[in-house]
């Protein structure tokens, strides 16, 4: 970034709301006894901290391992999201070698910052299929997790806004399914890309499963529609900016401790019930390590995310006793499902080279990049004001592919897609970029993995095994996904682009299954959507970690509220469901303590 830009940045950025209650100095905390202690100031944790402090007699402490999001430029600028992985704001986890993927390891990004992964993610706002939630309800025996009962919580968290460009977005979404009264801003990019026209034409030419989807967030995401993103006037809207900033900063009953990691939740009573209302907290960063103990009067709520939540539970003696004993941890609560059933969407990107010469590549043109930055700094508009993806595709695999002779359809219902496609050209309207690309994610993966402890040291990363491609359905379905994408770009709409496969598919015979599988094993990764590692199950189930009210089974005073509680991965990106889960959890917690 040029010096001139940095100066403008300081001036314009200081106008952002400041959080008053946030500190990284434990000794400055005014209280030692809190009604609720929330572990992890991420997506779910920020929602809970906000909602529980609506009652001003409840004191809440939110403990976050990473730093504050305030003044973090790359987090604020949507177009710079890609810079946040493997930065100070990422835990930098790496999976163990994936045996079914030629032993490759994978980056497993996770927010290490206030707002958690919502402060570093790709800003996609997708709610998934109604039937995904109806399956949760069936699985847990709690109708409250059904789409009809969860939709009000999606709406409670959402604040629909217009894009900073002022573009008219009428017809690009269905207002019936949106709310202007929530906190997280949701919008449409408003930045035209050359590929918009091509994609619209291809949709008309193909129709069928590729039809225009009037709103991808209406509970029946099928077809291709305009992509919705968590952006407010060209700036990232995260759990931290939406739920902890602005008018909430002055709440005297909300205390946010950053740069502090909870190392254990601790047992505070053995009989007549097992209670876990304590936490051990360790300072991060430089200087000597200090450990502090705190107790919650009402509950400890673990919202550390799908990797750190099972890690913390296991470090605390909650998990599979035989695994804990091997590491020298005294088992306190027998819950073998902790860290099991890790699920994520396997995803790869297909690229095609344009055969035409009239292209422009913003990614390598520094003149353009300077213009974009200036546009963002002065007006919050331009390509940096949104992710460079304008359409989202939700596709079913065809009936006649042969796949269904071998496998049962794992989708939650006929309105749940199998494939999530993100088609885009890198260029700016009207000139296309040198590549046309489409991400392709399997929305209904059958493989499951694990999160285990590497050691008893809370600073050590957990052992993440996605188990990717361990179930034969997944790679088989992705191969059919490749065919869908090829069908899409083979329409007359794309003819004048003269596309030829590039990237990992360069020179690969797409009809040769063995060759395609080999590319998929080398080029597929996780989608940063880990779920299921502290899954909810019915009260009477012999497995699972939390009950449908998200209380840890067999324990009092301890709840888990984050993506880890999802029993089945929804078809879409996972932040919108986490917002809804946390909003509902806040109501359940209020209900439990206000009677």
Ligand X SMILES: Cc1cc2nc3c(=O)[nH]c(=O)nc-3n(C[C@H](O)[C@H](O)[C@H](O)COP(=O)(O)OP(=O)(O)OC[C@H]3O[C@@H](n4cnc5c(N)ncnc54)[C@H](O)[C@@H]3O)c2cc1C
Closest to ligand NAG by CB, 27 vs 367, is 367
Find where tokens 């009037």 sit. Answer: 214
Q: Of 32-40, 44-52, 116-124, 378-386, which segment contacts ligand NAG by CB under 6 A?
A: 378-386
Closest to ligand X by CB, 124 vs 478, is 124
Task: State in angstroms the smallest separation of the CB of 242 from ligand X.
Answer: 12
Closest to ligand X by CB, 337 vs 575, is 575
SS3 content of the chain, % helix, strand, coil (to 5): 35, 20, 45
The structure tokens listed for 443 are 């929305």
Residues in the chain: 595
* Residues whose CB falls within 8 Å of the CB of residue 3, separated by 6 or more in sequence, listed in order: none
User: If binding is defined by CB under 6 A, does position 262 make contact with ligand X?
Assistant: yes
The structure tokens listed for 509 are 């015979």
User: If binding is defined by CB under 6 A, does position 42 make contact with ligand X?
Assistant: yes
Residue 92: exposed, middle, or buried by beta-carbon count in 10 A (0-12, 13-18, 19+)? middle
* Residues whose CB falls within 8 Å of the CB of residue 34, separated by 6 or more in sequence, listed in order: 59, 60, 61, 255, 294, 296, 297
Which one among 418, 574, 586, 589 touches ligand X, defined by CB under 6 A? 574
380 binds, among ligand X, ligand NAG, none (CB under 5 to 8 A by kind): ligand NAG
Residues carrying an active site annotation:
529, 573
Closest to ligand NAG by CB, 24 vs 587, is 24
What are the backbone dihedrals phi and psi of residue 228, each rounded to the nearest 5 degrees, phi first? -105, 140
User: If binding is defined by CB under 6 A, does position 26 make contact with ligand NAG?
Assistant: no
379 binds, among ligand NAG, ligand X, none (CB under 5 to 8 A by kind): ligand NAG
Q: With CB under 6 A as the rule, give the number of residues binding ligand X.
A: 40
- How far is the C-alpha of 299 from the C-alpha of 301, rounded, in Å? 6
User: If binding is defined by CB under 6 A, does position 444 make contact with ligand X?
Assistant: no
Strands (E), 522-575: 558-560
Which one among 5, 107, 146, 233 touches ligand NAG, defined by CB under 6 A? 233
574 binds, among ligand X, ligand NAG, none (CB under 5 to 8 A by kind): ligand X
What are the backbone dihedrals phi and psi of residue 505, each rounded to the nearest 5 degrees, phi first? -95, 5
Q: Of 69-77, 297-305, 322-330, 404-412, which segment contacts ligand X by CB under 6 A?
A: 297-305
- How far is the C-alpha of 385 from the C-alpha of 382, rounded, in Å? 6
386 binds, among ligand X, ligand NAG, none (CB under 5 to 8 A by kind): none
Q: Of 199-207, 372-380, 532-540, 572-580, which segment contacts ligand X by CB under 6 A?
A: 572-580
Nearest to 112 by CA among 90, 94, 92, 93: 90
User: In 10 A of CB 341, how many CB atoms?
Assistant: 24
Q: Are 536 and 550 in contact (CB under 8 A)?
A: yes
User: If binding is defined by CB under 6 A, does position 112 make contact with ligand X?
Assistant: yes
Which one among 19, 21, 22, 39 touches ligand X, defined by CB under 6 A? 39
Q: Of all residues in this chain, which one has the CB nearest to ligand NAG in the complex?
A: 337
Binding site for ligand NAG (CB under 6 A): 86-88, 90-92, 99, 102-103, 112, 164, 233, 337, 340-341, 365, 367-368, 374-375, 378-380, 543, 567
């Amino acid at each position: 970034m040029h010096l001139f830009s940095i100066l403008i940045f300081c001036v314009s950025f200081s106008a952002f709301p400041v959080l008053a209650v946030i500190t990284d100095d434990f000794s400055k905390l005014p209280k030692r006894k809190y009604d609720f202690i929330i572990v992890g100031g991420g997506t779910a944790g920020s929602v809970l901290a906000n909602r529980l402090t609506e009652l001003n007699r409840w004191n809440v402490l939110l403990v976050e391992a990473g730093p504050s999001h305030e003044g973090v430029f790359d987090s604020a600028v949507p177009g710079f999201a890609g810079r946040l992985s493997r930065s100070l704001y990422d835990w930098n986890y790496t999976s163990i070698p994936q045996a079914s993927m030629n032993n490759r390891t994978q980056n497993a990004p996770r927010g290490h910052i206030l707002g958690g992964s919502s402060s570093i993610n790709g800003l996609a706002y997708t709610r998934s299929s109604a039937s995904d939630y109806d399956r949760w309800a069936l699985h847990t025996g709690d109708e409250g997790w059904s789409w009809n009962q969860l939709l009000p919580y999606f709406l409670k968290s959402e604040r629909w806004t217009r894009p900073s460009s002022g573009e008219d977005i009428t017809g690009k979404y269905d207002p019936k399914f949106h709310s202007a009264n929530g906190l997280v801003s949701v919008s449409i990019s408003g930045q035209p890309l050359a590929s918009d026209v091509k994609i619209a034409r291809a949709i008309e030419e193909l129709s069928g499963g590729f039809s225009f989807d009037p709103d991808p967030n209406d509970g029946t995401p099928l077809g291709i529609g305009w992509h919705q993103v968590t952006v407010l006037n060209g700036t990232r809207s995260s759990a931290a900016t939406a739920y902890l900033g602005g008018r909430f900063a002055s709440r005297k009953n909300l205390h946010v401790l950053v740069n502090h990691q909870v190392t254990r939740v601790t047992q505070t009573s053995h009989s007549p019930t097992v209670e876990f209302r304590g936490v051990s907290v360790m300072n991060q960063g430089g200087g000597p390590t200090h450990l502090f103990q705190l107790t919650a009067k009402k509950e400890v709520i673990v919202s550390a995310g799908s990797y750190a939540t099972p890690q913390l539970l296991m470090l605390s003696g909650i998990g599979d006793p035989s695994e804990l004993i091997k590491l020298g941890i005294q088992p306190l609560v027998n819950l073998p499902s902790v860290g099991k059933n890790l699920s994520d969407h396997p995803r790869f990107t297909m690229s095609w080279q344009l055969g035409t010469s009239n292209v422009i590549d913003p990614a390598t043109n520094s003149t353009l990049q300077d213009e974009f930055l200036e546009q963002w700094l002065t007006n919050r508009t331009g390509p940096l004001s949104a992710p460079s993806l304008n359409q989202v595709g939700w596709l079913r695999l065809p009936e006649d592919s042969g796949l269904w002779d071998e496998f049962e359809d794992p989708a939650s219902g006929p309105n749940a897609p199998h494939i999530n496609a993100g088609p885009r050209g890198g260029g700016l309207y009207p000139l296309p970029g040198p590549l046309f690309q489409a991400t392709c994610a399997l929305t209904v993966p059958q493989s499951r993995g694990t999160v285990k402890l590497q050691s008893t040291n809370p600073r050590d990363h957990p052992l993440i095994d996605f188990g990717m491609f361990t179930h034969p359905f997944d790679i088989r379905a992705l191969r059919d996904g490749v065919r869908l994408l090829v069908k899409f770009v083979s329409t007359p709409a794309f003819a004048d682009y003269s596309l030829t496969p590039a990237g990992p598919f360069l020179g690969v015979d797409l009809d040769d299954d063995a060759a395609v599988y080999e590319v998929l094993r080398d080029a597929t990764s996780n989608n940063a959507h880990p779920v299921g590692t502290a899954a909810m199950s019915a009260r009477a189930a012999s497995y699972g970690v939390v009950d449908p009210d998200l209380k840890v089974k067999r324990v009092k005073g301890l709840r888990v509220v984050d993506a880890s509680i999802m029993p089945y991965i929804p078809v879409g990106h996972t932040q919108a469901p986490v917002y809804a889960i946390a909003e509902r959890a806040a109501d359940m917690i209020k209900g439990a303590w206000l009677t």
